[in-house]
Chains A and B, each alone.
Chain A
Amino acid sequence: MATEILMPALSPTMEEGTLAKWLVKEGDTVSSGDILAEIETDKATMEFEAVDEGTVGKILIGEGTEGVKVNTPIAVLLEDGESADDYQASSAKEEAPAEEAPSDEPAAAAPQKAPAMPAKVLEPDYPEGTEMVQTTVREALRDAMAEEMRRDEDVFLMGEEVAEYQGAYKVSQGLLDEFGAKRVIDTPITEHGFAGIATGAAFGGLRPIVEFMTFNFAMQAIDHIINSAAKTLYMSGGQMGAPMVFRGPNGAAARVGAQHSQDYAAWYMQIPGLKVVMPYSAADAKGLMKTAIRDPNPVIFLENEILYGRAFDVPKLDDFTIPFGKARIWREGSDATIVSFGIGMQYALEAAEKLAQDGISAEVIDLRTLRPMDLPTVIESVKKTNRLVTVEEGWPQGSVGSYIASEVMQQAFDYLDAPVITCTGKDVPMPYAANLERHALITTDEVVEAVKQVTYR
């Protein structure tokens, strides 16, 4: 029976790609291991091999086609004696597997586009009328690093695969070419060691950017982040500190299991001496990264693998920076306040949209930086809406939300008309199974439900 060759997923978060090139043509005989095609994702170009043997009966997707969804049939492989005419596209395949509840989709399955920008950007970080360019978070981070490296010779980037490989997630693409091996440095796989070396280099007057392939691996280095980088300024009575950035993807990606799916926002937010940034949009990623590199303190910059490929409007300015400690109101509302940061903003914004359809007006605040944290903006909003829901992917006990809830209780108790609800990830290590992972993460429906609860609807 004819076998359909499907568009492969080449990374945990890939949803679509470009069929860059066919290396076989119709009528060719192939055996397993032969290279069939080159597939391009936003991160890399990869070769795609045959698994079965047979004859290429029909090529269904021509080369150069962009946006081919994972699992779309791209060719048909025939066994001996079969003819291409025997093949009939099986539409059934594309529908399977059925989702149990469409609203319960994991973050990774969402399309690679950001929720619509608010009609007008409230309190923008740039002059009115600035030209905007659609940019992915990945490119925005790269541009920010490149601009700062041009500006200051003492800024350098080190980490695993940042140079010749162009970044495990392609965030450092092109930097080696522009800045050379002295300033874009591949390290061995040795987080504890290179985090310590980078911190020492910061003591010595340089401005290191340390990329952790993911923040999960930074647990190997956390002693240097906290004991060496964050505390030295204080312990030295102000004589020396560590002006540097620790950055990399944080939180769950997709289907990578417990050891690769943890949100560290609440951990780092606790440490005096650190500043902690967790952007959602590409514009914020860029403006805050530039600020982080210039900051004279150690900065934890928590990125998100799923957001890397999302495109947002980024202002076209020569030097666009965003100050720390300034939240952004994405959406004004009067019935309830939703506070989030990082990828949590996706659920917050989707929930606000759904709630609007039910006649509930939610104000959505993106904290952007967790330390310093713009609590005054949150408190002001609560004074207006009298209800608060926080949204994050991290665990519930000692969460960012529980800190905000306690501050709001202390500073605005009389304004609260309902207990604060903290929406978090579930209190479990991240499971691998797709359905369990979906349930472990925070969902848009849970945010909607929480807002209805605090508004007594």
Chain B
Amino acid sequence: MAARKSVKKPNVSAEELTHYYREMLLIRRFEEKSGQLYGMGLIGGFCHLYIGQEAVVVGLEAAAEEGDKRITSYRDHGHMLACGMDPDGVMAELTGREGGYSKGKGGSMHMFSKEKHFYGGHGIVGAQVPLGAGLAFADKYKGNGRVTFTYFGDGAANQGQVYETFNMAALWKLPVIFVIENNQYAMGTSQQRSTSSAEIWERGKAFGIPGEAVDGMNVLSVKEAGERAVAHCRSGDGPYILEVKTYRYRGHSMSDPAKYRTREEVQKMREERDPIEQVRDMLLTGKHATEEDLKAIDKEIKDIVSKSADFAKESPEPALDELWTDIYADEVPQENA
């Protein structure tokens, strides 16, 4: 008698799986649309797409509770959509319009939502790391039980301020989850060429911060690791590190031809590890959804994204008065300007 193949059944409901599928697909389609609008000249400046990394934020948002905070770098569109920010407002910020989250004054790299506890959107590599620990500091000071997800890349992991922050976060037991989104390339420099350690999360050991490496192409693995990290932080044990191994399909930014890696490398990742395809397979093979069901979701997402693009095109440019607002919280007249 043939041994029964033991398949580890994922501990997840059909609803949850469908939700992850929908969320990841929203990010993928939104980013494709952003790339398109960039090509049309409607989005300017720097624009860093999240395509390929969708499972990271969707998995971790599944582990978060209402009131938890998040902060990240300039590759931030996925984080904003995953925490529930309105695609219209995000897209209109990309086009620099009045209807954007920052009234058109922040752009792709600098967006925020106090309502959704999204603290940016930061353009300086690594700067969000102490800022995220500071948000956690405020939560610990207030004793409100919240945790902060502080995202940064494998490139930022070589900034000195990251380790200054590890030290203080461990010393003061701050409820912060350091999420290293390791997409293997710091702009055009591979991890092997820039980073002395193969496992970046292990650097936390020097500070007594526990952590783990996570398959960032698998949304369920990310969610489970996220739950361990959240439990650790919320119980008052201090920071936790998740090194999420992921991959970006596109260049560093829209202007990067990504000549530093082979087309085959990208293709192989897309074909074998794609986070959305993995969930799609689970839904279909587990008979949680039919092709028809998924088509309906695809259409629904496509509509949301089209609508956001329409909104972003139609929303007017900010009024010229906006140049002079939001410089000071008490709006001191800029008589010397």
Contacts and interface: CB of A to CB of B under 8 A. Distances in A.
B161 A193 contact: yes
Interface residues of A, number: 48
A227 B127 contact: yes
Interface in A232-248: 232-241, 243
A2 interface: no
Interface stretch (B24-32, B135-143, B239-247, B297-305): B135-143
A331 to B, nearest CB: 25
B112 A205 contact: no
Nearest to B332: A372
A355 interface: no
Given A188-B171, A190-B168, A227-B124, A238 B326 contact: yes
Contact of B129 (A196, A223, A227, A375): A196
B141 A239 contact: no
Contacts of A196: 127, 129-131, 133-134, 161, 164-165
B153 interface: no
B132 to A, nearest CB: 6
B204 interface: no
A187 B337 CA distance: 37
Contacts of A187: 168
B131 A234 contact: no
B168 A197 contact: yes
B145 interface: no
| Interface magnitude class on chain B | 35 or more
A235 B108 CA distance: 11
B65 interface: no
Interface stretch (B113-121, B178-186, B263-271, B306-314): B113-121
A236 B134 contact: no
B98 to A, nearest CB: 10
Given A227-B124, A234-B326, A239-B113, A188 B167 contact: yes
B31 to A, nearest CB: 21
A57 B138 CA distance: 60
A232 B120 contact: yes
Interface string A367-392: 00000110100000000000000000
Given A182-B141, A206-B138, A224-B130, A236 B112 contact: yes
A197 B71 CA distance: 13
Chain A CB within 10 A, most for which of B100, B103, B106, B137? B137
Contacts of A325: 332
B329 A243 contact: yes
B167 A297 contact: no
A419 to B, nearest CB: 21
B48 interface: no
A325 B325 CA distance: 19
B292 interface: no
Contact of A193 (B120, B121, B130): B130
Interface in B67-117: 69, 71, 100-106, 110-114
A443 B100 CA distance: 53
B262 interface: no
Contacts of A228: 122, 124, 127, 131
Contact of A203 (B102, B103, B119, B328): B119
Interface in B270-289: none
Contacts, number: 162
Given A192-B130, A193-B130, A296 B138 contact: no
A233 B121 CA distance: 13
B95 to A, nearest CB: 14
A192 B162 CA distance: 10
A274 B167 CA distance: 29
Contacts of B69: 204
B330 interface: yes
B188 interface: no
B160 A202 contact: no
Contact of A197 (B113, B124, B137): B137
Contacts of A243: 329
B327 A372 contact: no
Given A192-B161, A203-B135, A223-B124, A237 B326 contact: yes
A108 interface: no
A238 B325 CA distance: 8
Contacts of A192: 130, 160-161, 164
Contacts of B137: 197, 200-201, 204, 206
B165 A197 contact: yes
B336 interface: yes
A42 interface: no
Contacts of A297: 328-330
A397 to B, nearest CB: 20
A193 B174 CA distance: 14
Contacts of B136: 200
B142 A205 contact: yes
B167 to A, nearest CB: 6
Given A193-B167, A204-B137, A325-B332, A240 B127 contact: no
B123 interface: yes
A309 interface: no
B66 interface: no
A12 interface: no
14 contacts: A188-B171, A190-B168, A192-B164, A195-B130, A199-B131, A199-B134, A224-B131, A233-B326, A235-B110, A236-B114, A237-B106, A237-B326, A297-B329, A375-B336
Interface of A: 154, 156, 182, 187-188, 190, 192-206, 223-224, 227-228, 232-241, 243, 272-273, 275, 295-297, 324-325, 372-373, 375, 407
* Closest CB pairs A-B (n = 10): A200-B134, A196-B130, A193-B164, A204-B138, A296-B329, A200-B131, A237-B102, A236-B112, A237-B103, A235-B110
